[in-house]
Amino acid sequence: MKGALFIPCEKRKLAKVSSVNADVIIFDLEDSVREEDKEKALGILVELLKTYENKSNFMVRVNQSKDFMEMDALYQIGIRRFMLPKSENSSYINEIALRYKDIRLCLLIETPMGLLNIEQMCQVKGVEELAFGAEDFCAQMGMINRADLLLPIKEKVAITAKAYAKMAFDTITLEIHDDNIIKEKIIESMELGFDGKLFIHPKQLNVLESINSNDDYEELKKIVKIYDNSSDGVLVYNDKVYEKPHIEHMRRIINDAKQ
């Protein structure tokens, strides 16, 4: 399970970037920055990113804009991964994909229109990831942010991502103190088929790390090896039955662990 941490583009918060242990660091120029501070925040972020040679695990959530000022400035210093908030228009996304070479886009689905257009947007070149944003979605719908009510919406995002071979990140969890609640939400995302989760605090990443480290990869490798060395299509091991789909799923987990 991958962890993607939002970091507001504010000088004090950005100073802690080097200590963050996340699969993806999302520098946020959108919701966490006041409108009057956005230009200043962009300048601070650009100067910080210039000090990093390897930017492969950096992503920036930019503001929707027709002049692409933010993306131009960030692209010039080597940023290639961008999160597009409130994604709902494939024409706008295609314009971005054509404007920038080797762009890698994460579409944040947080509006009803975005959910309706999700398949169309997935077909745009450069789109690699989908993420679900429950807070804005619920606000637009006028609905309660509750797990059972969001289930069909999350399933739609996760299923579409799998169908189009995209990574899928589940929405943030507001809880930052109770590890049990954080763990419950992470496991819920895993069970729905999401590849990762969005986080807003480093403590949440610590819970994710504890969950990931509990997976017995050596046992999975052992099961896969026994299956590969067998001529049967079905493996019975420790009173459990494994077929090809189970084995392929184990292979994916093992490969992710190696990466």
Strands 240-242 and 235-237: antiparallel
Same domain, 143 and 192: yes
Q: How many domains does the chain have?
A: 2
Tell me the per-residue pLDDT of 215-227, one tens digit each, with 9 for 90 and over: 566 788 888 999 9
Same domain, 124 and 84: yes
Tell me the per-residue pLDDT of 130-156, one tens digit each, with 9 for 90 and over: 999 999 999 999 999 999 999 999 999
Same domain, 15 and 50: yes
Same domain, 11 and 127: yes
The CATH number of the domain where 166 resides is what? Answer: 3.20.20.60
- pLDDT band at residue 178 under the 50/70/90 scheme: very high
Same domain, 182 and 248: no
Same domain, 184 and 157: yes
Same domain, 44 and 169: yes
Taking 90 as the threshold, does the pLDDT of residue 93 lie above it?
yes
**Around Cβ 9, how many Cβ atoms within 10 Å?**
24
Tell me the residue range of the domain where 229 lies: 217-258
Same domain, 12 and 46: yes
Same domain, 203 and 250: no
- pLDDT band at residue 240 under the 50/70/90 scheme: confident
Write down the mean pLDDT value for the chain.
93
Same domain, 182 and 199: yes
Average pLDDT (104-115) is: 98
Per-residue model confidence (pLDDT) at position 230: 86
Same domain, 174 and 194: yes
Same domain, 163 and 198: yes
